[in-house]
Amino acid sequence: MSVSVPRIPLPLPLRVVVAKPGLDGHDRGAKVVARALRDAGVEVIYTGLHQSPRQIADVAVQEDADGIGLSVLSGAHMTLFAALLEELRRRRAEDITVFGGGIIPDADIRPLLDLGVAAVFTPGTPTRDIVGWVSTRLRTGGRPAAGQETL
Amino acid sequence: MDEARTGESGQLIDVVYGPGAVEGWDAAEKLGEPGGYPFTRGVYPSMYRGRPWTMRQYAGFGTAVESNARYKQLIANGTTGLSVAFDLPTQMGYDSDAVLAHGEVGKVGVAIDSIDDMRVLFGGIPLDRVSTSMTINAPAAVLLLLYQLVAEEQGVPAGRLTGTVQNDVLKEYIARGTYIFPPKPSLRLTADIFAYCGAEIPKWNTISISGYHMAEAGASPAQEIAFTLADGIEYVRTALAAGMDVDDFAPRLSFFFVARTTLLEEVAKFRAARRIWARVMREEFGAKNPKSLMLRFHTQTAGVQLTAQQPEVNLVRVAVQGLAAVLGGTQSLHTNSFDEAIALPTDRSARLALRSQQVLAYETDVTATVDPFAGSYAVEAMTDVVEEEITALIARVEELGGAVAAIERGFQKAEIEDSAYRIARETDSGERVVVGVNRFRLETEEPYEPLRVDPAIEAQQIERLAKLRAWRCGERVGDALTAVRRAAGGSGNVLYPMKEALAAGATVGEVCGTLREVWGTYVPGDTY
C-alpha cells in the first residue's frame, strides 16, 4: 500500500547576489541593503569588494540567483553595469534581474535602464522601497512561482 | 515632559544640565591649560589666535593636468594647504592600463602612474611653499617618494617638505576598502615609512590615523574615536617593535576625524579624544616629549549627512559641521561642496566650500578665544560621558588582542555595520529626520548638472604610459624592481630601493605589483 503525501507548495525564498564591482571600497549601502533583504526573508549572497563583472556573473549563475544588486559609487557605473549584463548574456542568464544603486547622475539612469538594468536606486531612497521593489519585481520576473516546479 | 533624547553615541541627553555636571571636578586635572596635558582644551596655548587652522580642500580628478589647474585655482582662492585625491587604480596600486582599472581612471581622483604624472601634478607649484596632504594608503610610500623626487627636480631639499600621507591601512580593512597587502607586511611598510621620514623628510606627518571613514561607514562618535585610537595604539606598538623610540616618531603622528551636524556631541568628542590620547601616550607608552602627547587632527565635514535632494541645503549643513570642527579645535579642515552627494565638485561648488571656512575664520568670533565651551555644564558632561564610552570600546578591542586581531575577527566592521543599519532604519521610519529626504520634501527636484570626468582621460593616460616606457631604460627599471623584491623579502627599509625604481621610471603598478608578489593580497572574511 502506498501512502500519498500531499505536496505543500512552500514559497521559495528569493535569492539575490549583492555585489561591489570594480575598485570602489565603500560598502555601507551594499551591506545595509543586503541586511534589509535578509531581514525580509531573501537569501542574500554578498560577494565582498573588488569583484569583476565576470566573477559576479559566475557567482549569480552558480548560486541560481534571481537577481543581482550592484553598488557603484566610483563613477564607473556605465562600464560596470554594461559589462555585467554582457557577462550574463554570454552565459544565457538574462533571466537574472540586474538592479543597483550608488552615486549615479540622474541623466545616466535612462541609459542604464535602456541597457537592461531593471532599477537604479540613488541616494535618499528609503531602504524599505528597495526591499519592496525586490520582493515584487523578482517574484514576477524571476523563477517560477511555488507549486509549479517539478521534482 | 517630552520623550527621551539620545545622542549619536547612544547616550541620554538631559533637558537641562546644571552645576552638578562639574561638581567635585578639578579643572586643572580634567582640562589642563590649552597646549598642556591632558590637552582637553586644545593642542596649542593660543590655538587660532596664534595659528589659524589650515584650509585644506581635498581635490583631484582626471589627469594631472586638470588637477594641477584646480590646485592653482584653490590656491588663488585662498586655500592654505593642498590635499590630493587619487583615482581608485592609483589607490589600489594599479596602472591606468590595468584590466581592473577600466572605467575607473581619473573618476574619483587624479590618475598617477609614474614620475611623469607627478611632475605635471605639481608643475608650477613650489613644494617648499605648500604643505601637501595625500590621501593614499596601501601605496603611500610610492606617492611619497614620487613627491620627494619631484621636489628634488624643483631643487627643494627633502628637509623643507611639509605635508602628510594618510598611510592608515588598518582603517582600510575596517571601513574604506583600499587595501592591498595583508596586515603584517602592511604594518612593516608603515614602520618603514616612519623610519624613512624620520631620517629623510623630518617635517613630514607620516600618518593620518583616521576615523572619518569609519564614521562615513556608520560609526557613532564613540566608535569613530575608539577604533581610531585603537588603531593608533597598534601603530605605536608596531614602531616600537621595529626599534624606534616613541618620542622620535610620535610627534609626527596625526589624526583625521569627521564633523557632524550634532555640534555639541562633536565638540565633546574632540575634547575627549585629546584627553584619552594624551593619557595613553604618557601612561602606556611613557612618552616624554609633549609633542608625543598631542592629538593633532584634520577634520572633514560629514559627507554622508549631505543629500542629493535640495542640494543647496548642504551649504547650511556644511557650515554647521565646519563650526563644530572649529569649536572642537581642529588643526586643519576640509569642507565638502554642496553637490557632494551628486558628483565631484564643480569649480563653483569647490569655491563655495572654501568660502564657508573663510566666513568661520574671519566673520565669526569663535576663533577669538580658545575652547569657548570649556566649563559649559552640557559640554563638560557630554565630554565625560563620551570619554567613558570611548574608553570602554578601546578596552574591548584590547581584550580581543588589539586592533589587528579585532579586525581579523571582523569586530570593528560588525559594530559599525550595526550602527549603519540602525541609522538606516531610523531614517526609513522618520525617527531620524533628514530635511529634504524624509521631511520637507519637494514634489519636483530642480535639475542639477554635475561635474563629468571626460572618458577620454583613460585613453590619454594609456598613451602617457606608452611614452614613459619609451624614454625609460627597461633594464634599469628591472634591476631596481629586483632590488625592491629583495628588500621586501628581507628586513631592510623598502623605501630606498623603491625610490630608485620610481626615479628610473617604474610605474605605481609595477612597484605595487612587485610588493604583491612578495607579500600577497589581503582577503577579508565578510563575504557570505
* Ordered alpha helix ranges (H), B437-494: 456-471, 474-489
Q: Could you tell me which of A78, A101, A123 has the C-alpha nearest to residue B104?
A: A78
Q: Could you tell me which of B341, B342, B155, B330 has the C-alpha nearest to residue B259?
A: B330
φ and ψ of B502, to 5 deg: -65, -35
**Nearest beta carbon to residue B527 from set A32, A46, A123:** A46
If you measure CA to CA, which chain A residue comes closest to B108? A74
Cell of residue A22, nine digits: 570594480
Is the link from the previous residue into B38 a cis peptide, with omega within 30 of 0?
A: yes
**Closest Cα of chain B to A19: distance in Å?**
10
Any residues with CB less than 8 A from the CB of B67 and at least 6 apart, and which? B59, B60, B61, B84, B109, B110, B121
Q: Which CATH class is domain A15-136?
A: alpha beta
User: Could you say which residues from 198 to 217 on chain B have a Cβ atom under 8 Å away from some Cβ of chain A?
Assistant: 216-217
User: Is the residue at B61 inside a domain?
Assistant: yes
Give the start-end residues of each E strand in A2-96: 15-19, 43-46, 67-72
Section A127-138 average pLDDT: 94
Among B429, B457, B484, residue at a domain's last position: B429
User: Could you say which residues from 299 to 338 on chain B have a Cβ atom under 8 Å away from some Cβ of chain A?
Assistant: 304, 307-309
Residue B495 has pLDDT above 70, yes or no: yes
User: Is the residue at B406 inside a domain?
Assistant: yes
Question: What's the confidence (pLDDT) of residue A144?
Answer: 44
User: Is the residue at B447 inside a domain?
Assistant: no
User: Is the residue at B31 inside a domain?
Assistant: no
pLDDT tier at A143, thresholds 50, 70, 90: very low
Cβ atoms of B299 and B321 within 8 Å: the answer is: no
**Closest Cα of chain B to A45: distance in Å?**
6
Q: Which DSSP category does A23 fall into?
A: T
pLDDT tier at B2, thresholds 50, 70, 90: low
Cell of residue A8, nine digits: 505543500
Shared domain for B424 and B480, answered yes or no, is no
Section B345-355 average pLDDT: 93
What are the structural domain ranges in chain A? Answer: 15-136
Cell of residue B15, nine digits: 533637558
Cβ atoms of B140 and B86 within 8 Å: the answer is: no
If you measure CA to CA, which chain A residue comes closest to B525? A48
User: Is the residue at B391 inside a domain?
Assistant: yes
- The SS3 of residue A21 is strand
Beta bridge partners of B263: none
Contact of B170 with chain A, judged by CB distance below 8 Å, is answered with no
Q: What is the gyration radius of the CA atoms in chain A, in angstroms?
A: 16
Give the percent of chain A with pLDDT over 70: 87
**Mind listing the pLDDT tens digit for each residue in B367-408?**
999 999 999 999 999 999 999 999 999 999 999 999 999 999
Cell of residue B345, nine digits: 565638485
Contact of A75 with chain B, judged by CB distance below 8 Å, is answered with yes
**Mind listing the pLDDT tens digit for each residue in A26-75?**
999 999 999 999 999 999 999 999 999 999 999 999 999 999 999 999 98
User: Is the residue at B4 inside a domain?
Assistant: no
- What is the C-alpha to C-alpha distance for residues A124 and B428, in angstroms, rounded to an integer? 10
Q: Which DSSP category does B310 fall into?
A: S
- What is the C-alpha to C-alpha distance for residues B147 and B166, in angstroms, rounded to an integer? 14
Place of cell 535612462: A110
Q: Could you tell me which of B241, B262, B247 has the C-alpha nearest to residue B190?
A: B241
Shared domain for B136 and B227, answered yes or no, is yes
ipTM: 0.91
Domain count, chain B: 2
Cβ atoms of B95 and B71 within 8 Å: the answer is: no
Q: Which residues in chain A are closer than 8 Å to B60, comparing Cβ atoms? A: none
Beta bridge partners of B298: B256, B332
Contact of B134 with chain A, judged by CB distance below 8 Å, is answered with no
- The SS3 of residue B392 is helix
Any residues with CB less than 8 A from the CB of A70 and at least 6 apart, and which? A19, A20, A21, A56, A77, A80, A81, A84, A98, A99, A100, A101, A102
Query: How many beta carbons lie within 10 A of that of residue B527, not counting itself?
Result: 12
* The length of chain B, given as a count of residues: 528
Q: Which residues in chain B are closer than 8 Å to A45, comparing Cβ atoms? A: 528
Any residues with CB less than 8 A from the CB of B294 and at least 6 apart, and which? B39, B43, B251, B274, B278
pLDDT tier at B344, thresholds 50, 70, 90: confident
Which domain, by its residues, includes B153?
49-429
- What is the domain-level CATH number for residue B400? 3.20.20.240
Cβ-based contacts under 8 A for chains A and B: 105
Shared domain for B188 and B75, answered yes or no, is yes
Section B477-487 average pLDDT: 98
Cell of residue B200, nine digits: 629623510
Residue A148 has pLDDT above 50, yes or no: no
Q: What is the gyration radius of the CA atoms in chain B, in angstroms?
A: 23
- What is the C-alpha to C-alpha distance for residues B166 and B175, in angstroms, rounded to an integer? 14
Among B372, B395, B429, residue at a domain's last position: B429
State how far Cα A46 lies from the chain centre: 10
User: Could you say which residues from 349 to 408 on chain B have a Cβ atom under 8 Å away from some Cβ of chain A?
Assistant: none
Beta bridge partners of B58: B83
- What is the C-alpha to C-alpha distance for residues B261 and B68, in angstroms, rounded to an integer? 32
Shared domain for B280 and B205, answered yes or no, is yes
A24/B177 touch (CB, cutoff 8 Å), yes or no: yes
A46/B424 touch (CB, cutoff 8 Å), yes or no: no
